[in-house]
Amino acid sequence: MAGDWIKVRTGLRRDPRVLKIASLLAPRTARICARTCAIARTICALVDVWSFANERAKAVGVDAVLEHSTPQMIDEIAGWKGFAAAMVKVDWMVVSPGEIRLPRFLRHNRLARNRRASEPPRRMATETSDTVLRVASALAIRQWLEQHARKNPR
């Protein structure tokens, strides 16, 4: 859904867990460009995984649980082989038979299905306010015309 979003901290690029994942999946290199690209790729992959969890997970306490999921699925979503294992190493993921758990995910995000259920759609709210505005405008114009007609009879 176009209105869905996830929270991404501004300092995520310098988070030690991001740096650890980048170094696990793209071995250290002397070239600054390669290191910066690995960090950027890590952040993009995290956003992809977190977005998938936001859409598909169920809430269990403050954790997001992806049922019927495997590390290979997470690697596919991230577009990077070994990404799920790297997330496990930095405690951003727990793998159990038949499910993947993202610890503390719900401290920062609300699952999309929960948000949709608890908040009215913006489009509906906008359409309602537009209708109210049109009706109010029509009434105001009608009142003005009636007052004008009384003041200036023909």
Tokens of 129: 């306010």
The mean pLDDT value for 61-82 works out to: 95
CA separation, residue 41 to residues 1, 34, 96, 112, 151 (Å): 24, 10, 26, 24, 71
In CATH terms, is domain 12-110 a member of 3.40.50.2300? no
pTM for this predicted structure: 0.70
pLDDT digits (tens, 9 = 90+) for 24-59: 998 765 566 788 889 999 999 999 999 999 999 999
pLDDT at 9: 86
Domain limits, the chain: 12-110, 120-151
pLDDT digits (tens, 9 = 90+) for 8-30: 888 999 999 999 999 999 876 55
